[in-house]
Structure 1
Amino acid sequence: MKRSQFIRKSLLATGTIAGGALTAMAGNSRQDGKPFNLNYGPHQGLFEHHAGKNIIDEIQFAYDRGFRSIEDNGFSGRPVAEQERIGATLAKLGMAMGVFVLDKGGNGANTLAAGKPEHVDIFLKGCRQAVELAKRSGGKFTTVVPGDFERRLPMDIQTANVIEALRRGAEILEPHGIVMVLEPLSDTPDLFLRTASQTYLICKGVNSPSCKILYDVYHMQRNEGDLLANIDRCWDEIAYFQVGDNPGRKEPTTGEINYRNLFRHIYDKGYRGVVGMEHGKSTAGREGEEKLIAAYREVDDFLG
């Protein structure tokens, strides 16, 4: 038998074993640039091994792999020229800016729960800054964390202080169509805002289209669980989602949260906003970045 015929027959034989995997790989390559059904928003660093450390290059890479938004918690700390380049790149590609963090002087002791005028003044300054940041980025969502408990005050007084401060912030943001999204967190038990239902109550008290809930699935799994039911209970005040699996805060499919069911749930309820990818990677390097993208394809493809 000629060597070429032997190689051909060998390849055909092994194809009966590996053909399924090869077909799957070919299918994945064809899916690489297809937009996802939900609008997932990566942050800088998730694709740096493919695109490098320049955020503009990462935005282009994300677009080429099917993502149609980003989020940038640290946007306010970037030079104005870089902010404008990011906004122009997103506009050119037809991508959305997700959340950037409103500067209120830190998430800890500088708390709106205390009712201190100096804390509120810093927050209101951040709201005015957010108007300018939104103009440069095209974004409409800014994350607010009220800060720590003020344990010398009764809980209801703290809640009233937070509502009053947020009402004043909403007066600044509302004319510009900007939404501050309140994020309950699990990082430390000292933080005032902990659950979706508590955040729902505050949003009802503020009573403004510019004050809604940022439902971070990772934090809410840790703090309260019962995810789908709690999403339904708070649905009319939820304006934004972030994700990360638990434990570990890595990409979907790496932990205990059934993201396929969760994404189906919010998709069927009509959510088409940004889903912020506020998590790390379970595997380092280029391999980890490919694994992350494959995980999102796995939990998203069945939505279409």
Structure 2
Amino acid sequence: MERRGFIKRMGLGSAVLGAAGAMNFPAFAGENAAAPTFKMDFAPHFGMFKNSAPGGIVDELKFMADQGFRSLEDNGMLKRSVADQELIGKTLNDLGMRMGVFVIEGGDNWKVSLTTGKQEFMDTFLKTCKESVEVAKRVGAKWATVVPGYFDRTLPMGVQTGNVIEALKRGSEILEPAGLTMVLEPLSDNPDLFLRHADQTYMICKAVGSPSCKILYDIYHMQRNEGNLIAMMEKTWSEIAYVQIGDNPGRKEPGTGEINYKNVFKFIDSKGFKGVMGMEHGNALPGVDGEKALIEAYRKVDLG
């Protein structure tokens, strides 16, 4: 019997797996072993361990579980086949893992157009929200990322903000009854993006006024756009429902850049956060050795 299955059947769960001092499991699990469960709910994505688990999505999920991870996130879930979505949902359930975010996206242009207020883009957004509810059911997802897109330079900022709020209110009417929360992600990828700061996202969430419209606080993006991470998280905490991770510069695992992740995680833990923390970054080093280094980096900053 596989160790993860034995522990799940015995009902011991993460309390036993997390007792690394009491049970001498390796930090990097081998073929017939499993590592202690992370205290914080870090969520890798597919491809992060492709060298250690080259057998496809089920192999990767089993590898993640054996390394002590309890969740997955997959931005491209909406584009996967129904068969793959159902397979992922079943495998997550069998492994006792949960699903993090996927991205609510539809077509090539709607994300950059919610600021415009045009009906055609509103219709596409709402259609995609309905499709996302069905995807969420298959994989057990509770959160989905939404990015309003680019500025419309022909409209005043207040009008664009109003257009985005109206679209998100309509989306919330679809998502809220299904128990699916869209988490708005301010980004740093380029200066043309409409949503860039935590306080701006906080204001929009307050205006929408739905439990299905909250903040995705991506630590990498917020370090680039505004810094002052802990203080800004404190100010906007009531609207933060999901956290993503990536060090800066480079957008790799904690410890490869300037962010003091140990202190940031202490703050998040002090708030009683039990949500998913997505590993939204690349691997600093290639191959199996890079994947081992990534896991070890998370062992160093985990609060377990």
Return the TM-score normalized by structure 2: 0.89
Match of 2:26 among 24, 29, 32: 29
Q: 1:109 to 1:144 in 2, by over 3 A?
A: closer
1:84-233 equivalent positions in 2, closer than 5 A: 84-106=86-108, 110-233=112-235
Equivalences, count: 278
Equivalent residue number for residue 236 of structure 2: 234
- Cα deviation, residue 105, structure 1: 3.2
User: C-alpha deviations, 1:144-185, integer Å up to 9, x for none?
Assistant: 000100111100000000000000000000001100000000
Where in structure 2 are there 5+ consecutive unaligned residues?
Answer: 1-22, 30-34
- Cα deviation, residue 118, structure 1: 0.5
Equivalent residue number for residue 272 of structure 2: 270
Q: CA RMSD in A?
A: 1.7
**Partners of 2:108 and 2:261 in 1: CA distance:** 31
- Cα deviation, residue 107, structure 1: 6.8
User: C-alpha deviations, 1:34-82, integer Å up to 9, x for none?
Assistant: 1111000000111011001511110100000000000000001111101
User: C-alpha deviations, 1:82-115, integer Å up to 9, x for none?
Assistant: 1000000001111010000001434777311110
Q: 1:261 to 1:49 in 2, by over 3 A?
A: same
Q: 1:270 to 1:27 in 2, by over 3 A?
A: same
- Cα deviation, residue 268, structure 1: 1.2
**What secondary structure sits across from 1:242 in the alignment?**
strand
The answer as to whether partners of 2:248 and 2:257 remain within 8 angstroms in 1 is yes
**Partners of 2:110 and 2:221 in 1: CA distance:** 17
Q: 82-91 vs 47-56, which deviates more?
A: 47-56
Q: 1:109 to 1:276 in 2, by over 3 A?
A: closer
The answer as to whether partners of 2:25 and 2:36 remain within 8 angstroms in 1 is no
Return the TM-score normalized by structure 1: 0.89
**What secondary structure sits across from 1:148 in the alignment?**
coil
Equivalent residue number for residue 16 of structure 2: none
Which of structure 1's runs of 4+ aligned residues deviate more than 6 A? none
**Which is richer in helix?**
1
The answer as to whether partners of 1:107 and 1:146 remain within 8 angstroms in 2 is no
The answer as to whether partners of 2:149 and 2:195 remain within 8 angstroms in 1 is yes
1:74 aligns with 2:76: yes
Equivalent residue number for residue 14 of structure 2: none
Equivalent residue number for residue 299 of structure 2: 297
The answer as to whether partners of 2:28 and 2:292 remain within 8 angstroms in 1 is no
Q: 1:166 to 1:222 in 2, by over 3 A?
A: same
**What secondary structure sits across from 1:125 in the alignment?**
helix
**Partners of 1:76 and 1:261 in 2: CA distance:** 34
The structure number with the bigger radius of gyration is: 1
Where in structure 1 are there 5+ consecutive unaligned residues?
Answer: 1-25
User: C-alpha deviations, 1:197-254, integer Å up to 9, x for none?
Assistant: 0000000000000000000000000000000000001000000000000000000000
- Cα deviation, residue 29, structure 1: 1.6
State the AA in 1 paired with 2:224: R
Q: Percent identity?
A: 60
Q: 44-53 vs 58-67, which deviates more?
A: 44-53
